[in-house]
Structure 1
């Protein structure tokens, strides 16, 4: 099992801006008190180490392991208590990127069949300048996309470790941290290896939902419950429209008449869902396309 940053082969890792040699320094900056370096580290984490809409770069799995180490460091968040929450949100993003399900086996076979060519493509990519790297994505071989498939597969293989180390944060004394952990767990526990854990996780998440004291926290937890095929029907009649919308997004309610009615109500006003949370942004899962797409009712 991959469990530490040193367990990952770092040769061939790159992110949005090229070789990922700078990522460890950016992560370390999140533990420091440099007023400029820490924001740069946060920006790097979200804008450089993840692809558009939260998909994976070859460096993403190694970065996620570094994020786990940050979460275990007691000095993280001394100046900004929201930083651990952001690290859990990042693990949610990795879980979304890694949600391959039954497709993982097919992708693994395809990647393994082209392994020598992918190594050669990556070596060339890492040694190229920015202009040549841009051209390589349109070289007609499709190898760049396979390299990205391999990156997603690395995140898929790492998911059991991420879940095991994110799960304890569900019981955080800070309610918002528990909420961010719920979002991460909801995404990560969709991995096939987590099937036996899901009943206990659903009990825990449902208890958290009943105890939630804000629409944001409740909505985020309900999306996580829906990710694990839990029952969110009791919240379809909640007085808060955002909470109703989050309940209606559950995977198991696709095509459900009552859930679709809730989603149609929200669709009448495009901004109604986001505005219903007031000063808070909508639940963090809504940063990612698969979740936003669920806000549309089934035709």
Structure 2
């Protein structure tokens, strides 16, 4: 797969403060989660990609365009969804999206057609004819997402896209992002503090801390535990089930979440688990290979950077 975004030793200084410290990254199509504590350099990285601030040193490209030299061309290829509101008072939702399409050089009629099409995709119904200042937080999130999509860019940069959404709308937003990446082959850079969102839809993860890249790897590799194990959830009491497994020499740990963790090859353990459930007359609710939690990965990455300092 071709890297759509490449950064090599990118550094950005604001006076004596170093916001980005020799950042090197390769981002391909799919969803890349951009994580980091406050002040880690995420916003500066986005501004560098969009050409809104100049790099102090380093080089990079987005598609075939060079960062710092072809910023206008880059912005034409990127759909950016900012965290904060950015709309003109007095405009309706559909007018706001049409306006962005016209900024991307679409004729007015074609821009209006695309605005309606994208608002349908984003789940905005008759609200599109209301002025944007009457919108709820969730409605404004949908509008910003529609504005980012309307010119069909190959790269999407989404800053906190699920912030302020209720659980149902949050899941719908994640599904839309998944469709953009999987079916339309876009590169999505998802900047968020909501770790479960990243774990549910991301293909890879980048973690920044103090302006440095601490982690840049496929999520599947990061989530794979150092030793194979299996997680079991039961309906009802687990005492006899756990005792039975112990009696057969299988290492078992009951976690605080109620999950029963078994160490060993998952395929072999699965057969023993079903036999034990039948013997102990218990029902298995779920049976899944263990995964490292993204929260643990994040905390460890930030802690390592603090220790290095």
State if a TM-score over 0.5 links the two structures. Answer: no
Higher helix share: 1
Higher RCO (CA-CA < 8 Å; seq separation 6+) = 2
Higher strand share: 2
Structure number with greater Rg is: 2
Taking structure 2 as the reference length, the TM-score comes to 0.28
Taking structure 1 as the reference length, the TM-score comes to 0.29
